[in-house]
Amino acid sequence: MKTTGMVRRIDELGRIVIPKEIRKQLMMKEGESIAFSLEDEKIILTKFSMVHKISNSTQMLLEGLYNKYHNTFMICDKESIVICSADGLAKYQRKRLPKDLVLLIENQEKQIEVMMDFFGQEEKVTIYPLSQEAESVGALLMLTRQTPYYTMDETLLEFIKDVIEQEIESCV
């Protein structure tokens, strides 16, 4: 485990300030949730994401989309790819998102399709932002490999996005 050499005191209410350098490196913002866990004699703090709490049935939805359209489908929070259709598991699962993709996810209210450098390869990426209580929590991503976005059943994709958002909401 990497140490920073930074030391903070616990105040009379039990609060600790996370150093600005660490918050900046982890892109932490005011109001974000932190998960606490214990490991031996260590307190582990982790950025918390509701996207990580969704069930395995969501994986089956992505597999169904892949089987229908032969495009890679992924669900991400605002940091990394959480779930992938099987064709992208080895290549993308748990990878940190490029900063330009994070900005697109945070700033979009509806789906967009963009050409971008996606982990070293130029890809056509369709982004369906996922939100909870009007706040961006991640996205359903599709890499157009075989079936162009404009020929797909948009109603089905919107339905899948809504199901994923409901799944996230039920985890609260």
What CATH number is given to the structural domain containing 24? 2.10.260.10
**Predicted local distance difference test score (pLDDT) of residue 100:** 87
Helix (H/G/I), strand (E/B), else coil: 125: strand
Question: What are φ and ψ of residue 61, in 5° steps?
Answer: -60, -45
Provide the residue count of the chain: 172
Do 85 and 107 lie in a common domain? yes
Reported as a single tens digit per residue, the pLDDT across 136-155 is 888 999 999 888 888 888 88
Do 58 and 41 lie in a common domain? no
**Predicted local distance difference test score (pLDDT) of residue 145:** 84
Helix (H/G/I), strand (E/B), else coil: 2: coil
**Predicted local distance difference test score (pLDDT) of residue 122:** 92
Reported as a single tens digit per residue, the pLDDT across 60-79 is 888 989 999 999 999 898 88
**Predicted local distance difference test score (pLDDT) of residue 164:** 82
User: How much is the pTM?
Assistant: 0.69
- The span from the CA of 130 to the CA of 42, in Å, is 33
- Cβ-in-10-Å burial (0-12, 13-18, 19+) of 80 comes to middle
Do 11 and 91 lie in a common domain? no
Q: How many domains does the chain have?
A: 2
Do 93 and 146 lie in a common domain? yes
Domain that holds residue 39: 1-48
- Beta bridge partners, 47, equal 34
Do 57 and 41 lie in a common domain? no
Do 94 and 20 lie in a common domain? no
Q: What is the mean pLDDT of residues 116-129?
A: 91
Query: Which own/partner contact pairs does 35-42 have at CB distance under 8 Å and 24+ positions apart?
Result: 42/1
- The span from the CA of 88 to the CA of 73, in Å, is 8
CATH number at 69 reads 3.30.450.40
Share of the chain above pLDDT 70, in %: 90
- The span from the CA of 46 to the CA of 37, in Å, is 8
